[in-house]
Structure 1
């Protein structure tokens, strides 16, 4: 199995620039960090990460404020942004990547399957966040996921989320 092209680009670019990265992952449960780790030379850039599958761990491990969780919930742009900053801080990394959302099979707290927020906090403290739901809905409506069972669809959402997070971090 070869390394994911987006992870290869990230490792190459971060190595060139002397940057390190950490992740805070909810729906992907470590898949983003594992995808980076598949790349030879990843140890030069990957510091580590936190898995914050349970909502309270977004606060306890990734530093998301209780106020943000109360006001916006665990699946939001605001939470993703704080998770990204928290991952960088917790792991002593230059860049933090965060992923939070709903992979399915069922909606969660009013959030539809495929609503995913990815965030990147760079070394300057700037944070970029993307909501991937529109892209997921476009792909779903085009029939791209026809014939997939719920487990396959869930895997597709998680893989696509990691790809976009890696691309956003490398941009």
Structure 2
């Protein structure tokens, strides 16, 4: 009887220890701001956002390089350009990327849902109809090879945003 209790107790302790060693949670830190034309060659595990089905990294821009529109604000903590137009309007998004092994997406948000505008990783443009409060971001999927850099876990990648612009289409 004592032997059975010890075995059961050992299994319980082992499962608690293994559960504690599960996937570690990392605090989110926005990616470094990038100039158009700069190449990202690596990113931190802290830059990765865990979605429902995919992990991704939201790019962080210098907003004055992307748009000159007064009705568009930029949040560096989320990498989202938000529209503050008084009435429904059309805006043209233009992009060109150079990527290796990554899928990059231009997305807009409406009613809390994100929608992908581009269907591929090549340069293109789209006109979207925008209401106040809608947002736009650029993200790429987390598919890089992992490596340790001093006290940080990083991923290799090759992402270059040659062009990304938000302009009025009216």
TM-score bracket for the superposition, by shorter chain length: under 0.3
More strand by share: 2
Higher-Rg structure is: 2
Q: TM-score, normalised by structure 2?
A: 0.25
Higher relative contact order (CA 8 A, sep 6+): 2
